[in-house]
Structure 1
Amino acid sequence: MLELFTNTLTLLQTNLAFYVATVGLVSLCIGSFLNVVIYRLPIQLQREWQTECKLLLAEHLTDTNEDDNGTTFNLAFPNSHCPKCQASLKWWHNIPLVSWLLLKGRRGFCQTSISIRYPLIETLTATLSVLVAWYFGPTEKALLYIVISWALIALTFIDIDHMLLPDQITLPLVWAALLASTLNITIEPQQAIIGAAIGYLSLWSVFWLFKLLTGKEGMGYGDFKLMAVFGGLLGWEYILQIVLLSSVVGAFIGSVQLAVQGKNTATPIPFGPYIAAAGWIAMLFGPQIQSWYFGMLQL
């Protein structure tokens, strides 16, 4: 067994095609798990908040890990089941992407349609992971950025659904960015600490300036923490790039979305997905973008 593991590890390090293919297959499975996280984590958090409110109000408490019927509910339980007819899924119903194609987008028992978002998230997870693996090769930085890409996908869709960037994901990412600097995977520790602080404060200051001028809250604290992640990974020099890119893309897509949905400009729009997209682009192509930008200034 040890020899098999050693040979596999050697093959991953020496054969780029095998390495990238392995990352793609593993990431497809991770994408399936991310669908679970995206759906279940906000529900768990809501139940925890409800319990805390009951505690403050001295009301009768129920177990936050149980649903209204007393069934355990977390990321692992209950087992995968159809949300319509509640039938437990068979193993062949849970093969990432393949099951959706074989079932022709229909649930295996009640034949109701399955949202195309599930296979899209699995495909997106595999695609982004493969791009990172191919770009950085079999390195520690690639592994770090692949895991961060998974977390960014979960954060993006949770924010779209609930206008929420959970601390359970953002804070570990901040610590991962800082710890990676101490292991010489990314930037120097001093740069990482300063970058995380400036990343956080860049949006924190905008938040309070907007609130003082308008009396309204323009964004959530999760956005600050997500920006701190990229500051800790890349350094303070890339904060402006990420802020500008996320703002431009967010303003354009948000305007189109509001126009299509017929909503007014007062409708809240999650900013986390645009920070995540801009930060991911900066992780791969930040130096090239910086060089292009400063080259344009010198013209």
Structure 2
Amino acid sequence: MQQLSTFLNIPSLFSALAGVIGLLVGSFLNVVIYRLPIMMQRGWRKECLEYLQIDPESTQEAVAEEPFNLVLPLSRCPDCNTPIKPYQNIPVISYLFLRGKCAECGCHISIRYPIIEALTALASIIVAWHFGYTPQAIFALFLTWSLIALIFIDIDHQLLPDSITLPLLWLGLCLSLFNIFTDAHASIIGAVAGYIALWAVFHLFKLVTGKEGMGYGDFKLLALFGAWLGWQYLPIIILLSSLVGAVVGVSMIIFVKHDHNIPIPFGPYLAAAGWIALLWGNEFNQLYLATVGL
């Protein structure tokens, strides 16, 4: 046990281990990103049918569905349904070895899968190097992996699942009892202020324009960061996410001809800003205060 602790206390080795684990977690995150929204949609449909007192078997869509969750069915090619063998599911390496194609039918495999795996590994290395072998690193890694899932789910479905955000919010509050990232006083105020801040912006924007500028999931995500980091980091998170969101949004409208009537999810920018604050929030706060002359 002492040898393991000594090994993990070497920054380069701990970071390398975090990167390898990040690759494996990234492979699982691909499953979460794809399946969790479908699981939620099926759950909503079932609840609607139950509320309307409609027998699901009597609907036209009724089919004999196999179990569908984060474990089953096992990974398979979406085109030919051939099960993916374990050696064909090695993060990044298998994609390169197979040249981005199914080994059975040759259909193209989205490059987003290895990108998410590599991104998770890189983010894990950065977190491990920044915090070292500490309790903060373990929880920061967990938060980082969860944020990556939230980012891509929001990009695909404009949805930030409560099944991810709410447990993380409560975890942040619990961690504050042990002063992992902040104290309980700052954490509680941060969670409340984070939610109310975007809630107020949402209703003000709706009052002025008659449109909804963001979803309730964004409120919970900012409350999550308030719980983890404390209220002191909320201004820099809001500032960073708003600036990046505005730049990307305007760029998409100008250069990609994105329809301005089609909403752009705010969650990815908020998640990225919160992750930056997790690592370098203190430095950004000091820079901001120095800039405004405080």
TM range (shorter): over 0.9
1:136–1:142 Cα contact (<8 Å) kept: yes
Distance verdict in 2 for CA 1:56–1:8, change over 3 Å? farther
Point out 4+ residue stretches in structure 1 off by more than 6 angstroms: none
CA distance in 2, matches of 1:10, 1:188: 27
* Letter of the structure 2 residue corresponding to residue 89 of structure 1: I
CA distance in 1, matches of 2:207, 2:72: 45
Give the match for residue 30 of structure 2: 35
Distance verdict in 2 for CA 1:182–1:9, change over 3 Å? farther
Alignment gaps of 5+ in structure 2: none
Q: What secondary structure, in the 3-state scheme, does the structure 1 residue paired with 2:56 have?
A: coil
Question: Quick check: 1:285 aligned with 2:285?
Answer: no
Question: Quick check: 1:88 aligned with 2:83?
Answer: yes
1:12–1:138 Cα contact (<8 Å) kept: no
CA distance in 1, matches of 2:43, 2:6: 45
CA distance in 1, matches of 2:153, 2:11: 33
Residue 215 (structure 1) shift: 2.1
Query: What is the total number of aligned residue pairs between the two structures?
Result: 290
Give the match for residue 42 of structure 2: 47
1:80-119, aligned counterparts within 5 Å?
80-119=75-114
1:195–1:236 Cα contact (<8 Å) kept: yes
RMSD (Å) for aligned C-alpha atoms? 1.4
Q: What secondary structure, in the 3-state scheme, does the structure 1 residue paired with 2:100 have?
A: coil
CA distance in 1, matches of 2:112, 2:180: 34
1:155-194, aligned counterparts within 5 Å?
155-194=150-189
Question: Quick check: 1:265 aligned with 2:253?
Answer: no
Q: What secondary structure, in the 3-state scheme, does the structure 2 residue paired with 1:34 have?
A: helix
Higher relative contact order (CA 8 A, sep 6+): 2
1:54–1:60 Cα contact (<8 Å) kept: yes
CA distance in 1, matches of 2:149, 2:7: 27
2:9–2:132 Cα contact (<8 Å) kept: no
Q: What secondary structure, in the 3-state scheme, does the structure 2 residue paired with 1:113 have?
A: coil
Superposition TM-score, scaled by structure 2 size? 0.95
Q: What secondary structure, in the 3-state scheme, does the structure 2 residue paired with 1:72 have?
A: coil
Question: Quick check: 1:222 aligned with 2:217?
Answer: yes
Determine which of 202, 209, 228 is the counterpart of 2:204: 209
Q: Using the aligned pairs only, state the percent identity.
A: 50
Residue 7 (structure 1) shift: 4.8
Superposition TM-score, scaled by structure 1 size? 0.94
Residue 44 (structure 1) shift: 0.2
CA distance in 1, matches of 2:273, 2:63: 40
